Amino acid sequence: MTYEIKPIAEDHIPGFRATLDAVAREQKFLSFLEAPPLEQMRAFVLNNINERWPQFVVVAEDEIAGWCDVLPNPRRTVSLHCATLGMGLLPKYRGQGIGRKLMQRTIDAALARGFTRIELTVRETNVNAIALYRSFGFETEGLHRKAVCIEGRYENTLSMALTS
């Protein structure tokens, strides 16, 4: 399969939103159940581009197959060094090493940008993602019991971080 990892660009926004929405609707991975409206996504992405935050997409088979970003923490006391990683891939692109390459590119850009702490939260049941994060050096820092509730089903999440 041929794919390319690229910094997100304005013309990627509709495809990025569609991919984010598809992953969110799986109800297994993200902290929200659907993507925000297109105009809200446009403002979000254009701000990230303007600020040059690390945000990449995978383009495969004429679609956005996935994304990974490392965005600064909004709290002022940590925003100069601390950021949060988010990522997702459409199901047909998982398990092929694409996520690993995408994450490596994004983390490299985040470290080059000067971030010294990259945080994330992950559902405790997402063992594949946890293994991927650990392989990059992320360490578990906390357990959040009943942090997610979807259709009456509770799930725990883990807080993980990578420090340099």
Domain extents in the chain: 3-116
What pLDDT is attached to residue 79? Answer: 65
What pLDDT is attached to residue 31? Answer: 86
Mean pLDDT by 10 residues, the chain (164 residues): 95 98 95 94 97 97 96 74 95 96 98 95 96 97 96 95 95
What pLDDT is attached to residue 76? Answer: 61
For residue 113, give every residue at least 6 positions away whose Cβ sits within 8 Å of its Cβ, in sequence order, or none.
Answer: 52, 53, 54, 70
What pLDDT is attached to residue 160? Answer: 98
CATH number of the structural domain 3-116: 3.40.630.30
What pLDDT is attached to residue 74? Answer: 76
Tell me the pTM: 0.94
